Structure 1
Amino acid sequence: MALLTVDKVSMFFGGLAALSNISFSVERGEILALIGPNGAGKTTLFNVVNGFYKPSRGEVRFKDRKISGFKPHQICRLGVARTFQVVKPLQRMSVLDNVIASAFLRSKSKGEAGRRALEVLEFTGLMEDRDVISKGLPLGKRKRLEIARALATGPELILLDESFAGLNPAELDVSIEIIKGIKKKGITIMIIEHHMKVIMSISDRIVVLNYGQKIAEGTPAEISANPLVVEAYLGEAEGA
């Protein structure tokens, strides 16, 4: 049984179809990448999966339970966490308190939440910054804090929305190791990303969207050799 199933999902805004009849599954323990040009519908699909939008048609199932129509906090409690493309930490709070706030989802006391938060900060390399007010962090560390906040909720599936965007090469390497570490913990990952070399190196499977439609699905090798993908996305990226 797949951990997550997206079944014939469509999303309309007025007369515009942002998503059209999208279907795929995410298997437990894998890294599935969602790629496509800007405006392809990737973040809209994330918003459907984690409850910000209720699909106009179709449904989303998590562990074979229909979650379409659930609120984001309900879906998070079931075990689906996400990060956002534009990171928005609790700016006046410390790094540690940001993560503690997320850890309360599955903690019965402040002490338990604090211990969970410290473990996550150690894992994401933010322990030395635990007392820093979050608005003072550079972009690379704010991106890691976003991942830490999601991990603190104890997810089985984590949705990462462009967690590598804007990072320098050194920060990129750190983030790649964190993603690999998340997988080793047994957490399933669904990731949106434009860094194609990164996606090709860490993903088990890739789903490609273009104009709100799924145009391809397969392994990194299959996707990189797919002429539709090259025309719609990879070729564009290489020529940019």
Structure 2
Amino acid sequence: MSLLEIRNVSKLFGGLAASSNVSFTIQKGEILGLIGPNGAGKTTLFNIVDGVYPPTKGQVLFKGQVISGMKPHQICKLGLARTFQVVKPLQRMSVLDNVIASAFLRAKNKAEAVEIAMETIRFTGLEEDKDVISRGLPLGKRKKLEIARALATQPELLLLDESFAGLNHSELNESIEIIKSIKARGITIMIIEHHMKVIMSISDRIVVINYGQKIAEGIPQEIRNNPLVIEAYLGE
């Protein structure tokens, strides 16, 4: 059984089809890249998966259970967490308190929440910044904090929405290592990313979306050489 199944999903906003009859699966333990031009419908698909939007048509199944129509907090409780393209930490709170807030999804008390949060902060390389108020963090560390907040919910499936956008070369390499370490912990990942060298190097499989429709699916080498993908990104 697939960990996640997106089954014939469409999402209409008025007469505009942001997603149109999209189907694919994610297997436990893999990294699946979701790519496509700007406006292709990638983040809309994330919003459908995590319950921000209900699908107009189709279903999303997580661990065999239909989650379409459930609220985001209910889906998160089942073991599916996400980051957002525009990072929005709790700006007046410290890095540690931001992660503690997420840890309370599983923790039975504050002591347990602090323990989960500290382990997550160490894992993501934010220990030196744990007492820093989050609005004062540079972009690279805010991106790490966004990942830490999601990880503190102890997910089985993590959705990453452009976690590499705006990072410098050093930060990019650090983030790649964090994502490889997340996979090594047995957490499955679906990632939206425009940085092609990154997505090709970390993904086990890639799904390509254009104008809300799936146009290709396969291993990185197949996607790299697919004429439909080349046309969608570069033009004929």
TM-score with structure 2 setting the length: 0.99
1:38 equivalent to 2:14? Answer no
* Matched letter for residue 85 of structure 2: Q
Q: Which residue of 1 aligns with 2:57?
A: 57
Identity of aligned residues (%): 75
1:48 equivalent to 2:44? Answer no
* Matched letter for residue 169 of structure 1: H
2-side partners of 1:51 and 1:65: how far apart? 14
RMSD of aligned alpha carbons: 0.9
Q: Which residue of 2 aligns with 1:217?
A: 217
* Matched letter for residue 67 of structure 2: I
The gaps in structure 2 that reach 5 residues or longer are: none
2-side partners of 1:200 and 1:34: how far apart? 11
Alpha-carbon offset, residue 25 of structure 1:
0.1
2-side partners of 1:40 and 1:118: how far apart? 37
Q: Which residue of 1 aligns with 2:156?
A: 156
Q: Which residue of 2 aligns with 1:205?
A: 205
Alpha-carbon offset, residue 57 of structure 1:
0.1
Q: Which residue of 1 aligns with 2:146?
A: 146
1:170 equivalent to 2:160? Answer no
1:89 equivalent to 2:89? Answer yes
* Matched letter for residue 52 of structure 1: V
Q: Which residue of 2 aligns with 1:114?
A: 114
* Matched letter for residue 57 of structure 1: K
Q: Please give the residue correspondences for 1:99-110 in structure 2 after superposition, counting only pairs within 5 Å.
A: 99-110=99-110
Q: Which residue of 1 aligns with 2:8?
A: 8
2-side partners of 1:90 and 1:57: how far apart? 34
1-side partners of 2:139 and 2:17: how far apart? 33
Secondary structure at 1:38 match in 2: coil
2-side partners of 1:195 and 1:15: how far apart? 31
2-side partners of 1:116 and 1:210: how far apart? 39
* Matched letter for residue 93 of structure 1: M
1-side partners of 2:75 and 2:182: how far apart? 20
Alpha-carbon offset, residue 15 of structure 1:
0.7
Q: Which residue of 1 aligns with 2:78?
A: 78
Q: Which residue of 2 aligns with 1:124?
A: 124
Q: How many residues align?
A: 236
* Matched letter for residue 198 of structure 2: V
Q: Which residue of 2 aligns with 1:27?
A: 27
Alpha-carbon offset, residue 19 of structure 1:
0.5
Secondary structure at 1:105 match in 2: coil
Secondary structure at 1:23 match in 2: strand
Alpha-carbon offset, residue 231 of structure 1:
0.6
Alpha-carbon offset, residue 78 of structure 1:
0.2
Secondary structure at 1:216 match in 2: strand
Q: Which residue of 2 aligns with 1:68?
A: 68
1-side partners of 2:97 and 2:20: how far apart? 40
1-side partners of 2:100 and 2:127: how far apart? 13
Q: Which runs of 4+ in 1 moved over 4 A?
A: none
2-side partners of 1:98 and 1:18: how far apart? 32
* Matched letter for residue 10 of structure 1: S
For 1:44-88, what per-residue CA distance to the aligned partner results, in whole angstroms no more than 9, with x for missing partners?
Answer: 000000000000000000001000000000000000000000000
The gaps in structure 1 that reach 5 residues or longer are: none
TM-score with structure 1 setting the length: 0.98
Alpha-carbon offset, residue 115 of structure 1:
0.4
